Amino acid sequence: MGPLAIGIHGGCGTLARDLLTEAEWAETNRHLGDSLRAAWKILTAGGSALDAVEAAVVVMENSPHFNAGYGAALTETSEHEHDASIMDGATLAAGAVCATRRIRNPIRAARAVMEKSDCVLLTSSAADDFAARAGLEIVENSYFTLERRVKALASLKARKARGTIALASEAEKHGTVGAVALDGRGNLAAATSTGGFNNKPVGRVGDSPIIGAGTYARNGVCAVSGTGQGEIFIRRVAAYDVAARMLYAGRSLEEATGDVIDILGKHMIGAGMVAVDAAGRVVVPFNTLGMARGWIADDGVVHVATHDDVHRLSAA
Amino acid sequence: MGPLAIGIHGGCGTLARDLLTEAEWAETNRHLGDSLRAAWKILTAGGSALDAVEAAVVVMENSPHFNAGYGAALTETSEHEHDASIMDGATLAAGAVCATRRIRNPIRAARAVMEKSDCVLLTSSAADDFAARAGLEIVENSYFTLERRVKALASLKARKARGTIALASEAEKHGTVGAVALDGRGNLAAATSTGGFNNKPVGRVGDSPIIGAGTYARNGVCAVSGTGQGEIFIRRVAAYDVAARMLYAGRSLEEATGDVIDILGKHMIGAGMVAVDAAGRVVVPFNTLGMARGWIADDGVVHVATHDDVHRLSAA
């Protein structure tokens, strides 16, 4: 069995310390660890990178501390719309859903689209209906709503009305979760899931469900999941650009992700990525003050972080 | 003023000769010529590549002979859902809509998303509503329906029920229109629009509204619009892959588009592209028996074709 690796992100931004209580920051780190361990358990048991990234993302979708699934951002109409995608680096198969409203775990729906349909991308109520037919858990839209998000939306709308929107913390506006993995057979996979951003226009679709923009995986090259302002990830074809720089320009994973994050930074765009290459090297570059992130490389040590300080947890 | 160029496609496939009457084939060629001339008039008057590709696509959306706008394919529920995108190579700005039902010219809605919203991609009824607010022409869904498509859908469903779906002509199943242009200031642009394919699952989104998959433009490199099975264009990030091979591997436009079409052909996927580089060279590679296509290079001669024989029309 070759080297194993799992890397995750839970969104980047200023992540102001007073956004959460100390207990909530601690729980955020614990949930990052839970996400990593769920994936690691699969990888060490000989499971697939695809199963690992799905499991990692499901843990973050079920946590209130990330902008995906339960606890996701609210649209301008105080509802939730979710985008997600998954890609299998072994076959370049991919599945994605956008603007879903009733699927508890959108990443499972993306996987079902990949495996149980002839489509790559399903949108809106058709995606909800497909997920229900595929036997996935369906919930009321209000299941996803946290009081914290309701307050943040009200505050954001008030600031918008006063014309001080620029003062809104990036963490209130954006956020995404994602995972990349390398399994023992050398297969790479990537997955991304998001609730968009607070006060999002209804029907706006970001980069998370767009293969090549927010998510990309290809055996022998890399797996990538992005977080940040989705529109620029789409316009820069950011996730595939990492792979293309490695494939065609001979750049390393570190160099290729660094190139792309630098370009996004020059556009004054807060952005981050988690990526892994065919040798199991994990990188988590970002140009913001913080990014929720974590990884386990072949030594089995669990690393999690939200700001500069990286916590080494007990081995998985 | 630098060299000018416009290239268009109107979908690829077997394009069986008996699909249309001789008069209809002649009209198809005339409409390709009309599309090219609408764009050329803009370019020679000093207009932008962006205006040129939009105008070229609008002519094809309004023609009954292409699978976009009026005369587009029907979904499994005998309705229409449209996808479109546009990209400005000068700024990498982009706009797109997917699964729209009431916008007469979806490419105009994509342009409006790019210029009048903070989004790149809007989906479903939110895209319809946005287009209405932007002052674009709204029609009943039935406006798009041709008797020919109703018959083709019935025939396709009957064959599917009998298990002989593979006999269905590609031309009955797929189709897209697209345009690429170079203007006198060296700006590149690309645009793509489609009704998907006959018997399309409701909510399925193909590559046409996906920047990097069906559409890409970048000044100094190339502009690309694709046609064929959208899922493989998404999985291969086909349009941006052409640009990446030119940017990072030093391939010419001919080589890069040829590489990508060859890869799609190896997957037994019928595919075609129209592309233009920064010098105004237009290529129209495809691996099917036919592709509706046309171009005007700097000499002003109008070329249109659907199969092997290329017609030189009078200068634009």
pLDDT tens-digit map of A259-314: 999 999 988 888 999 999 999 999 999 999 999 999 999 899 999 999 988 999 87
Q: Which residues of A touch B237 (CB under 8 A)?
A: 211-212, 216, 237, 240
Query: What pLDDT does B250 receive?
Result: 98
Taking one residue from A and the other from B, the number of pairs with CB-CB distance under 8 angstroms is 137
Please report where in the chains the tokens 């309705």 appear, as a residue. B79
Give residue B1's pLDDT band: very low, low, confident or very high (50, 70, 90): confident
pLDDT at site A167: 54
Which residue is closest to A210 within chain B, CA to CA? B210
Which of A75, A176, A288, A306 is flagged as catalytic? Answer: A176
Cβ contact B194:B200 at 8 Å: no
Contact B211 A98 (CB under 8 A): no
**pLDDT score recorded for residue B169:** 54
pTM as predicted: 0.96
Classify domain A5-313 by CATH number: 3.60.20.30
User: Mean pLDDT over residues B116-143, rounded?
Assistant: 98
Q: Could you tell me which residues come within 8 angstroms of residue A315 by beta carbon, excluding any fewer than 6 positions away?
A: A299, A300, A301, A302
Q: Do B240 and A94 touch (CB under 8 A)?
A: no
Contact A122 B204 (CB under 8 A): yes
Six-digit token string for A269: 């765009």
CA distances from B182 to A315, B16, B57 (A): 57, 32, 15
B-chain residues near A87 (CB < 8 A): 235
Q: Could you tell me the maximum CA-CA distance found in chain B, to the nearest angstrom?
A: 59
Give the CA angle between residues A232, A160, A166 to the nearest 5°: 50
Give the mean pLDDT of B247-275: 95
Record: contact A230-B120, CB cut-off 8 A: yes
Residue numbers of chain A with a pLDDT score lower than 70: 164-174, 315-316
Query: Can you give the residue ranges of every domain in chain B?
Result: 5-313
Tokens 């990097």 sit at which residue? Answer: B212
d(C-alpha A306, C-alpha B76), whole Å? 47
For residue B205, the chain A residues in CB contact (below 8 A) are: 98, 119-123
| Residues with Cβ within 8 Å of residue B1, at least 6 apart in sequence | B46, B184, B185
Instruction: Report pLDDT digits (tens) over B81-98.
Output: 999 999 999 999 999 999
**Least confident window among A293-302, B170-179, B180-189:** B170-179
Closest to B123 (Cβ–Cβ): which among A92, A205, A241? Answer: A205
pLDDT tens digits for range B147-174: 988 998 998 899 888 876 555 555 455 6
Cβ distance of A122 and B201 shorter than 8 Å:
yes
Q: In chain B, which residues have their Cβ closer than 8 Å to the Cβ of A237?
A: 211-212, 216, 237, 240
What type of residue is B261?
I
pLDDT score of A244: 98
Q: How far apart are CA B116 and CA B124, in angstroms?
A: 18
pLDDT for res B165: 59
Q: Which chain B residues have any C-beta within 8 angstroms of a chain A C-beta?
A: 87, 92-94, 98-99, 117-127, 129-130, 201-206, 210-213, 216, 230-231, 234-237, 240-241, 244-245, 247-249
DSSP string, A118-154: S-SEEEHHHHHHHHHHTT--B--GGGG--HHHHHHHH
Residues of chain A found within 8 Å of residue B123, distances taken between Cβ atoms = 98-99, 123-124, 203, 205
Mean pLDDT of chain B, nearest integer: 94
Residue A161 confidence (pLDDT): 86
> What whole-number percentage of chain B has pLDDT above 90?
84
Name the more confident of B16 and B39: B39
- Helix H or strand E segment including A312: strand A310-313
Q: Each residue of B193-252: pLDDT tens digit?
A: 999 999 999 999 999 999 999 999 999 999 999 999 999 999 999 999 999 999 999 999
For the question of residue A176 being annotated catalytic, the response is yes
Question: How far apart, in Å, are the Cα atoms of A90 and each of A183, A253, B64, B233, B242?
Answer: 11, 18, 41, 17, 22
A54 in Cβ contact with A108 (< 8 Å) = yes
User: Cβ of B213 and A216 within 8 Å?
Assistant: no
